Amino acid sequence: MHLMKKLALFIAILTIVKPFSAHAQFENFKDSVVQLYGVVMTADSLQGLPAVSIIVQGTGRGTLTNNQGVFSIVALKGDNIEFSCIGFKNKITLIPTDLVGNQFSIIQLMVSDTTYLPAAIIKPRPSREQFERDFVNTDVPDDNIELARRNTDMATRRILMRSLPRDGRESVNMNLAKSAQKYYYTGQAPPMNIFNPFAWGEFIRSWKRGDYKRK
């Protein structure tokens, strides 16, 4: 019975302390929220910068300035605010942790980021004689049509036919043609083309092409 009384007293204390603790945490979080607003300007001419990226580091939240460089964003005390814009150096601003109140206004000045380009050599315009000489001597590369025409001419194809081995399809077709000729003349003597003028004509053309040269 004494144990039950202690347990009931402990539960009663928890029910009283927990709401106060949650309320205190909510008040602390509410006090740490800051409405950050201001304007982003150029440091040399004090002109408002549009489309400046404003990011709260570590949170993925951000915003952009309007056409006059004005912005507004919600952050927490102690957050780092990064300002970035093309052509300007990045700036990071820290929201003070001891800030009094829940509003913080700033005027952020952006310094131009100097970019050094490679030196450009300016030469006078050439004379007519120089232009004609350079134009005639300019090596113009072949286009795709000319390359295809050069790679598919008769001489190139003959070299490829003599040097490249037959692929599988060509070998199968040749074997089928020989088998068909063999079966066609089964039981009889195959004809001799020694007296065939068409065969002699094909032989002469092959000899002129160099098909019988030693590889």
Do both 100 and 147 map to the same domain? no
At residue 122, the pLDDT reads: 83
At residue 42, the pLDDT reads: 93
Do both 9 and 79 map to the same domain? yes
Nearest CA to 34 out of 91, 83, 93 is that of 93
At residue 80, the pLDDT reads: 94
Distance CA 53, CA 90 (A): 10
Residue 76 in this model has a pLDDT that exceeds 80: yes
Do both 73 and 23 map to the same domain? yes
Is there a contact between 110 and 85 (Cβ–Cβ < 8 Å)? yes
Do both 92 and 188 map to the same domain? no
Look-up of token digits 């070299």: 159
In a domain, 147, yes or no: yes
Distance CA 48, CA 64 (A): 13
The model's pLDDT over 29-43, given as tens digits with 9 standing for 90+, comes to: 456 899 999 999 999
Do both 85 and 171 map to the same domain? no
Which residue segment(s) compose the domain that 164 sits in? 142-209
In a domain, 63, yes or no: yes
At residue 23, the pLDDT reads: 45
Total number of domains constituting the chain: 2
From 92, 110, 128, give the residue that closes a domain. 110
Read off the CATH number of the domain in which 33 is found. 2.60.40.1120
- Type of residue found at 4: M
From 110, 129, 161, give the residue that closes a domain. 110
Distance CA 84, CA 54 (A): 7
